[in-house]
Structure 1
Amino acid sequence: MTDESLFREVDEEVRQDAYKKLWDRFGNLFIALAVVVVGVVGGIKGWQYYQQTQSETAAFVFSEALKKAADGKNDDALAALKAVKHSGYSQLARLREAAILADTGEAEKAVAAYDAIAADASVDPALADLARIRAGYLLVDTATPDALLGRLGKFDKDGEIWRHQAREIFGLAAWRTGDYVMADRYMNAIFADPETPAGMRQRAQVMVQLIAPNLPKS
């Protein structure tokens, strides 16, 4: 499975939750601003119009950048994404920039871009965590299991939204390094979780079958 297809699955599984949390974050700001200027009808309308036009412009630029990326015009797409200034869309643009770097074989630069997003306190926590997970998938073939645990260990808890992806990363890294007992533990945890996405459950089932012949005989 390619990094691109993994990214696509990750995006599909969490897009709604990430966007909701992003709106929750910036929506509160818009409400607070409206309270400050309450009673000044003209001011409110002017602010709302400004915000609407800024958001619509950012949405258009972001959409055009995605089209360029889909057409393989990655340099043009990156340039367009850097032009996105609206607070919410700029965070999504940074994620897409990193994804384009990954898609074009610039794995180290992509990881650095994701790490920068994750370390930025101004980034919505849901998107920062998405950046951490994407970096983890890029590193699964090269980083040590301990290094990946250091990056993503906080997600290895029941109830964490990213637990499935983190455990898949840990399991794949353990498989790669020959720690079949650990790999089996993580893949079975994914398979047994009733909230695991269907596609990931199927992958975990396949991995459990591949791991089984390598486990110590009881």
Structure 2
Amino acid sequence: MSEESLFREVDEEIRREQLKALWDRFGTYIVAACVAVILGVAAFKGWQYWQHRQALEAGQAYLAAVQLAEQGNAEAASAAFAKLAESGDSGYATLARLQEAAFLASKGETDKAVAIFDEVAAQEGTTPVLANLARVRAGLLLVDSAPVEELRNRVGDLDVEGNPWRNEAREVLALGAYRASDLETADKLFNEILADPRAPFGLRQRAQIMLALIAPKIGGQSAGASGEETASDEDAAAGDAASQ
């Protein structure tokens, strides 16, 4: 055996002894750490599966409630939405609360509906899109009773470029101004809705109706009123917008 081979064998023997000493000393901890990692991965996978199942069940429950509503079974749909709303903080639970509030509003229980919309808007975890939708819906319910300043505090900051609910917020503010006899402000806001190609078709139609109502009162034809669409009942037109 050469001197080099001898040194190599001695070196390997020393390494084996060192590894054995380390294993004797820390082997139990190493095994425990490996087991902990395996259990942690298993627990995480189990949690992911549970979340998936919960989301799937919530989605099915929401669709079932929507079908009840579409079939005209309003009471059963409301009960289903209320039950789903209590199930947790998932997106479906938030949607269910919005539907529950809309049902209450349709029955004339405005205060309860507004309270739910306000809770959804303020709830931690509600996405900005749904929170702002809740704010707009509450504002629409309050246009007949709330002061303009309150409406402005509720939705005024949504009337900004890039906000998906900008035109709906404009409608709340415009209706509030109209009710307060601030016709110039109402005319301006309704015209902004009409001029925005991103405004939903139904919203633009309502703006056109309101502009036709405003035009004679401000001493001439409003910039957005074509005269083709008129309304014989002003309160009906404004009330229709508030019910959307």
Query: TM-score, with normalisation over the residues of structure 2?
Result: 0.66
Which residue of 2 is the match for residue 189 of structure 1? Answer: 192
1:115-167 CA-to-partner distances (Å, cap 9, x unmatched) read: 11111122222111110011111111222222111111101223322110111
How many residue pairs get matched? 181
Distance 1:197 1:133 in 2: 15
Which residue of 2 is the match for residue 79 of structure 1? Answer: 79
2:162 is aligned, of 138, 159, 162, to 159
SS in structure 2 of the partner of residue 204 of structure 1: helix
Which residue of 1 is the match for residue 216 of structure 2? Answer: 213
Dislocated runs of 4+, deviation >6 Å? 37-41
Matches within 5 A, 1:1-218: 42-43=42-43, 45-84=45-84, 85=87, 87-216=90-219
1:7-38 CA-to-partner distances (Å, cap 9, x unmatched) read: xxxxxxxxxxxxxxxxxxxxxxxxxxxxxx99
Q: Is the 8 A contact 2:151 2:173 kept in 1?
A: yes
Structure 1 residues 80 and 199: alpha-carbon distance in aligned structure 2, compared to 1, 3 A threshold:
closer
Distance 2:93 2:176 in 1: 32
Root-mean-square deviation (CA, aligned residues, Å) is 2.4
1:69-126 CA-to-partner distances (Å, cap 9, x unmatched) read: 3344444333322332251211111111111111222111101110111111222221
1:210 CA drift (Å): 1.9
Structure 1 residues 38 and 123: alpha-carbon distance in aligned structure 2, compared to 1, 3 A threshold:
farther
Structure 1 residues 42 and 208: alpha-carbon distance in aligned structure 2, compared to 1, 3 A threshold:
same
Structure 1 residues 173 and 38: alpha-carbon distance in aligned structure 2, compared to 1, 3 A threshold:
farther
Which amino acid is 1:55 matched to? A
Q: Mean Cα displacement is larger for which, 188-197 or 90-99?
A: 188-197
Distance 1:210 1:83 in 2: 43
Distance 1:81 1:191 in 2: 35
Distance 2:147 2:196 in 1: 25
Structure 1 residues 146 and 216: alpha-carbon distance in aligned structure 2, compared to 1, 3 A threshold:
farther
SS in structure 1 of the partner of residue 198 of structure 2: coil
Give unpaired runs (5+ residues) of structure 2.
1-36, 221-244
Query: TM-score, with normalisation over the residues of structure 1?
Result: 0.73
SS in structure 1 of the partner of residue 50 of structure 2: helix
Distance 2:44 2:153 in 1: 47
SS in structure 2 of the partner of residue 160 of structure 1: coil
Q: Highest relative contact order (Cα 8 Å, sep 6+), 1 or 2?
A: 1
Rg larger in structure: 2
Q: Mean Cα displacement is larger for which, 42-51 or 126-135?
A: 42-51
Distance 2:201 2:62 in 1: 30
> Percent of pairs identical after alignment?
46
Distance 1:101 1:173 in 2: 22
